[in-house]
Structure 1
Amino acid sequence: MRSEVVRFLIAGGSAAAINWLARILLSLVLPFEAALIVAYGIGMAAGFWLYRAFVFRAASHGSLSGQLALFLAVNAVGAAVVLAVSTLMIDGLTGLLPDLKPAVAQALGHGVGIAVGAVANYLGHRLLTFGATLRPQPQSR
């Protein structure tokens, strides 16, 4: 289980880095909220592949369509968590530090939002998305 958590952190960290960097680039052409949602989708696609291939390896034998549907549902909740936490953090940072540049507040707020969302995502993916294929199967005699 511990190695699974380590693999999740590495895969999730990679997907989060893709998400975070994509949001920064997308913010050049989109409003922050729209850039965050599009970047979340990009990171989510990378995350599904990484989690299925490297974290929950036994799940690679499960139903791809079923896992994808649950993955999307878990990540929809995760996206809402990331958006809410990011927005609250940005508001809090700009309220406490009015001279803080908006781009810095957005980068920090989004980073905290991703971290909080990662906890919710791990639990959702461990229990729901890939959970059925990870449960021990009864041994036949």
Structure 2
Amino acid sequence: MAEVEISFDASRIDFDKTSEVIKASYWGEGRTDEIHRRAFANSLCLGAYVDGEQVGFARVVTDYACFAYVADVIVWPGRRGLGIGKKLIQALLDHPELASVTGFSLRTSDAHSLYKKFGFVTSTDGMYMRLARQPATHE
């Protein structure tokens, strides 16, 4: 496989393809392009590229000081299993603007082994709380 390039340049991200691939994922079902536009605009996003073609995406929601929430880490079908997800996560953890962040979190139902390689652990400390609710409708 050719060299994988990681870039934080949001202008390089193929929005349509990225939105399409995320909407086809188990966690992106029901999302819209408009939701993705807002989410991406309010996140630090990065893409993975092979020969200039985007093959992966990830984003982090952060205050750039204390916390970061990793979201939408995805590698295009046909490019999975090649280490691209690892490169995306490593790039996020190495980003200089996230150097002071001590609390990274995320949710996954199928990629625990990927994140464990970077020191993520399943929260069982009784401190993590979550509120799940239906989105408000705007009429």
Bin for the TM-score computed over the shorter chain: under 0.3
More helix by share: 1
Structure number, greater radius of gyration: 1
More strand by share: 2
Query: Taking CA–CA contacts closer than 8 Å with sequence separation of 6 or more, which of the two structures ends up with the larger relative contact order?
Result: 1
TM-score by length of 1: 0.26
